């Protein structure tokens, strides 16, 4: 993207505002990133997303709050990052999201539709997700042996009964996951 590795485009959105950046990744990605950003820190990647996040959290010294962002989301807008930072200072746990624009169906394992939730209350979760540092670290440690069950960081806090809030994002904050996404 823009003649640079995708992750470099993503990191550029954060280097000006972050005190510290830690990337849980492989040695191959580490070698690429250090060519552009020699001061970035690294953590060992885990067997799943949440284990990777925990590994990164363990490398940090105490912080007031942390932002957790997907390296495959290079289109995050600076104003959204600022909004996330402002909101996490007040609410302790926030997730960037955009309103669902499609009708969403809930199905059972056989594919039978069981309900149609009201999309006025549904959001597509994105990143960054931001949290009080100690709270999110302790949540990851609490669920350390079952982290593979969780698809994002906020769901750990939800499972613990903690409040998590939406920060309105935008639809341009796409995640590059498949070859079709690159187009």
List the chain pLDDT tens, one digit each, 183 residues.
889 999 999 999 999 899 999 999 999 999 999 999 999 999 999 999 999 999 999 999 888 999 999 999 999 999 999 999 999 999 999 999 999 999 999 999 999 999 999 999 999 999 999 999 999 999 999 999 999 999 999 999 999 999 999 999 999 999 998 888 877
- Please give the mean pLDDT across all residues of the chain: 95
pTM of the model: 0.93
Give residue-wise pLDDT tens across range 48-71: 999 999 999 999 988 899 999 999
> Which pLDDT score is estimated for 178?
87
Rounded-to-integer distance, Cα 83 and Cα 180, Å: 30
Query: Is there a contact between 61 and 103 (Cβ–Cβ < 8 Å)?
Result: no
> Which pLDDT score is estimated for 180?
85
> Which pLDDT score is estimated for 42?
97
Write down the residue that tokens 């309105």 correspond to: 168
């Amino acid at each position: 993207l823009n003649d640079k590795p995708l992750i470099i485009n993503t990191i550029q959105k954060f280097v000006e505002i972050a005190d510290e950046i830690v990337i849980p990744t492989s040695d191959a990605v580490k070698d690429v990133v250090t060519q552009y950003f020699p001061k970035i820190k690294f953590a060992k990647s885990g067997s799943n997303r949440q284990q990777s996040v925990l590994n990164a959290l363990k490398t940090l010294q105490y912080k007031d709050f942390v932002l957790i962002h997907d390296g495959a989301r290079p289109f995050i807008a600076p104003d959204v990052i600022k909004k996330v930072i402002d909101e996490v200072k007040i609410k302790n746990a926030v997730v960037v999201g955009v309103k669902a624009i499609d009708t969403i169906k809930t199905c059972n394992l056989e594919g039978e539709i069981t309900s149609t939730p009201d999309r006025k209350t549904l959001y597509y979760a994105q990143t960054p997700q931001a949290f009080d540092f100690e709270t999110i670290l302790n949540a990851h440690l609490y669920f350390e042996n079952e982290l593979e069950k969780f698809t994002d960081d906020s769901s750990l806090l939800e499972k613990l009964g903690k409040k998590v809030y939406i920060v309105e994002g935008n639809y341009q904050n796409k995640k590059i996951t498949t070859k079709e996404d690159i187009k």
